[in-house]
Amino acid sequence: MPITSKSKRAASRKKPSGKPPARRGTGLGEVAYNGLLEGIRRGDFRPGEPIREQHITTWLKVSRTPVRDAMRRLEAEGYLVHERHRGAVVATLDDQAVIELYALREVLEGAAAAMAARNASDLEIRQLEQLIDESAHAKDPKVLIEYQYRINNLIHQASRNRYLVKAMHRLRETQFLVGSVVTVMPNRPATLLREHREILAAIKKRDARKAGKVMREHVCSALQSRLQMRASEAEEDYPYVPFPRNNGRA
């Protein structure tokens, strides 16, 4: 998968605002790894942003050795890349990689929704409806992202296909490098809510074909929003400058 590490924006040096995950008897190396990975997932560390070892040790309250080990592991897995003069930065997917990622999501998410329409229990459908209704009142973009994660996860579980669930989990880990459009596009939350309710309606009717179709359309809609956002960022970073003309003079 093609990866680029050049940031399109000046990277912020502030510490992550979220709380690190609680320690549960795991080694410090695992604590550092999970903390960094969760920070990338939540958007505390954005694509192209440098990862400062000193900031991470202060945030996670661990020594530098487990942080270094965690950063090497994340670099080996493709979440971090080493950039000259900047050190380790969060990897950035290029446009082609994003398109490929969403193409796979379209297939897998569509299959998950179709299977959920056939296999979801009545309780799971009620839980899905409750999550979608609650998400309508979310004002904080990060809270809305968490609702989106929980809604998708419930649909995956309701598919009753363990291999699809594993595939989606791995795909979602790569999705973290893309980020979420709901944090930057003001019209996306309303569109997201409407699409989620269409998916729910198809699942409640046990219409597998319709559920798969509206889910695939939902993923395509997310891709279009993503590409639109990336194009806008490129225009801001490289504004249009008219070519100088000599007004007919040689």
Q: Alpha helix locations (H) across 51-161?
A: 53-60, 64-76, 95-119, 122-135, 141-158
Cα–Cα distance, 205 to 201 (Å, whole number)? 6
Taking the domains of the chain in order of start, what are their residue ranges? 3-92, 95-235
- Walk along the chain (250 residues) and give the pLDDT tens digit of each residue: 444 544 444 444 455 655 555 444 458 889 999 999 888 887 788 888 999 999 999 999 999 999 999 999 999 988 899 998 899 999 888 889 899 999 999 999 999 999 999 999 999 999 999 999 999 999 888 888 889 999 999 999 999 999 999 999 889 878 877 766 555 566 788 999 999 999 999 999 999 999 999 999 999 999 998 888 878 766 555 444 443 444 444 4
What is each CA distance from 67 to 62, 88, 218, in whole angstroms?
7, 12, 38
Cα–Cα distance, 76 to 68 (Å, whole number)? 12
Cα–Cα distance, 218 to 163 (Å, whole number)? 22
H or E element that contains 81: strand 80-83
List the one residue out of 71, 45, 44, 40 whose CA is nearest residue 57: 71
CATH number of 3-92: 1.10.10.10
CATH number of 95-235: 1.20.120.530
The answer to whether 3-92 and 95-235 have equal CATH topology is no
